Amino acid sequence: MKPRDLLLALAVVVVWGINFVVIEVGLEGVPPLLLSALRFFFAAVPAIFLLGKPRVPWRYVVGVGLALGVAKFGLLFIAMDHGVPAGLASLVLQSQVIFTVLFAIAVLRERPRPTQLVGIVIACVGIVLIVLDGELSAPAGALALVILAGCFWGVSNTITRYAKPPDTLRFMVWVSAVAVVPLTILSLITEGPQADVDALRGMDLSGIGSIAYLAFAATLFGFGVWGYLLRQYDASTVAPFSLLVPVVGMSAAWVLRGEAVGLQQGIAAVLVIGGMACTIIRRRTPRLAESDSELTSVG
Q: What percent of the chain has pLDDT over 90?
A: 44
Give pLDDT tens digits for 94-147: 888 888 888 888 887 778 788 878 888 888 898 888 877 766 777 889 999 999
* Whether residue 189 has pLDDT greater than 50: yes
- Specify the pTM: 0.87
* Whether residue 67 has pLDDT greater than 90: yes
Give pLDDT tens digits for 256-285: 988 877 788 788 888 888 887 887 666 554
Average pLDDT over residues 53-67: 93
Contacts 24+ apart (CB under 8 A), 130-137: 130/88, 130/91, 130/92, 130/264, 130/265, 130/268, 130/272, 132/264, 133/262, 133/264, 133/265, 133/268, 135/262, 135/264, 135/265, 136/88, 136/265, 137/83, 137/85
The C-alpha R_g of the chain, in whole angstroms, comes to 18
Average pLDDT over residues 15-21: 94
